Amino acid sequence: MGRGVVSRAGAVAVAALAAVTLASGGAPGGAAAAPTTAQLAGQRITWPVDGTTVSASMRAAIARGEVGSVILFSRNAPNPATLSRLTRQLQSIPRPAGLDAPLLVTVDQEGGLVKRLAWAPPTMSAARMGARLDPAGIRAEGAATGRAMLRSGVNADLAPVCDVAQRGGDLFRDGRAFGTTPAAVAADCTAFAQGLGDAGAVAPAKHFPGFGRARVNTDDAAVRVTAPRAVLDREMEPFRTAIAARVPMIMVSSIIFTALAPRPALLEPSVVRGLLRDQLGFRGVTITDAIDTPALRAYGGTAGASVGTAAAGMDLVIIATSEAEAAKGMRAVSAALESGRLPRADARASLDRVMALRRSLGR
């Protein structure tokens, strides 16, 4: 596959990471104040939106610079006009200097079962794409998906699925994976990511280090995978390929991989920092799978998992259920920053990575 997953997002963001850091002088062209604790905490959360218009509390949080990314669902997008109106409202809210790049607006648009925008591509599930299309055709599906999303103001697709499906597994049953061999999935998921990038959308590869052996979805239950490390390493090939192709974001799973660590992957520094960043060399933005799910209930719920995933090195923490629940996560991260449990320097580094990506999105 080619080196450039994205032509107007990831590639620009990679360059921006080298040139722009809030920690060493603020945003380009302005004397931005150092971010407050509340801003550092709120910018770490990817917030849900409760309805089809922006609430007064969300509007105020964005204006204070405490929201930098959101996740939208079918409830927010009954039709293209409603979604476009909502995203225009979100992006039109003035934000403080240094934090005034476009909001990252995300949605799960894999195709098939997981397709929040009913009217938009892809026209088939990942499994059907893998069976029926070559990588060029899959890249075209990704580009069509990106263009449709961007027309409605959504700039990041929480796709592609880079997991290797196993027969009997949740992803295999639901058709969410491109295939059952690492090589095929690597080619196809990278092609879809490249297509999204061709359109100017962000493509977060998921669910690192691999969801394919899960028998149930982590949205429904805690999941433990006991495969040996050698097997996991083979099934990480799609992520290695995506990283080599400069994918700008990677989503980390809430599965427990016993060969890697005793807790869910997104809570483990050895997985996020050690494996993903140090061993595989990923330099982009990391984002969690949703943390307000049964998979993380035993780890302190929303508040505990917000702090735990941030401590592990996750840049963005998805909270999916409600704005109130996201505010709970923000307060927990803020308190951990104030107490020193979360190092402020790490929070600044995460913010730098996310801001570089957001600045690459244009206006």
- Supply angle C-alpha 150, 153, 158, rounded to 5: 70
Average pLDDT taken over every residue of the chain: 92
pLDDT over 70 at 283, yes or no: yes
pLDDT over 50 at 26, yes or no: no
Strand 114-115 with 109-111, pairing? antiparallel
What is the reported pLDDT for 31? 57
| DSSP at 33 | P
Q: Which secondary structure element, helix H or strand E, spans residue 157, and what is its range?
A: strand 156-157
Q: Residue 14's pLDDT band (boundaries 50, 70, 90)?
A: very low
- Count of alpha carbons within 13 Å of 217, Cβ hemisphere only? 13
What is the reported pLDDT for 168? 81
114, two tokens = 């997981």
pLDDT over 60 at 220, yes or no: yes
List, in order, residues 6 or more apart from 343 with CB less than 8 Å away.
none
pLDDT over 60 at 188, yes or no: yes
Note whether residue 29 is domain-resident: no
pLDDT cut 70: percent of the chain above it: 91
Kindly tell me the number of DSSP H helices and DSSP E strands found in the chain. 14, 12
Note whether residue 300 is domain-resident: yes
pLDDT over 90 at 214, yes or no: no
pLDDT over 70 at 18, yes or no: no
Note whether residue 4 is domain-resident: no
Q: What domain range includes position 188?
A: 10-19+40-359
d(CA 46, CA 180): 31
| Mean pLDDT for the stretch of residues 99-112 | 97
Note whether residue 251 is domain-resident: yes
For the stretch 27-43, pLDDT in tens is 444 457 899 999 999 99
Radius of gyration of the chain (CA): 19
For the stretch 53-90, pLDDT in tens is 999 999 999 999 999 999 999 999 999 999 999 999 99
Total number of domains constituting the chain: 1
- Supply angle C-alpha 141, 209, 205, rounded to 5: 25
pLDDT over 60 at 51, yes or no: yes
d(CA 47, CA 259): 32
Amino acid residing at 26: G
Note whether residue 169 is domain-resident: yes
Q: What is the CATH number of the domain that holds 246?
A: 3.20.20.300
For the stretch 119-155, pLDDT in tens is 999 999 999 999 999 999 999 999 999 999 999 999 9
Q: Residue 217's pLDDT band (boundaries 50, 70, 90)?
A: confident
Note whether residue 31 is domain-resident: no
| Mean pLDDT for the stretch of residues 222-241 | 96
Note whether residue 268 is domain-resident: yes
Is residue 224 classed as helix, strand or coil in its secondary structure?
strand
3-state secondary structure 69-136: EEEECHHHCCCHHHHHHHHHHHHHCCCCCCCCCCCEEEECEEECCEECCCCCCCCCCHHHHHHHCCHH
Q: Distance from CA of residue 163 to its chain's centroid?
A: 15
Q: Residue 236's pLDDT band (boundaries 50, 70, 90)?
A: very high
d(CA 298, CA 194): 37
Q: Residue 2's pLDDT band (boundaries 50, 70, 90)?
A: very low
Note whether residue 14 is domain-resident: yes
| DSSP at 66 | -
d(CA 204, CA 280): 16
Note the pTM of the prediction, 2 decimals: 0.92
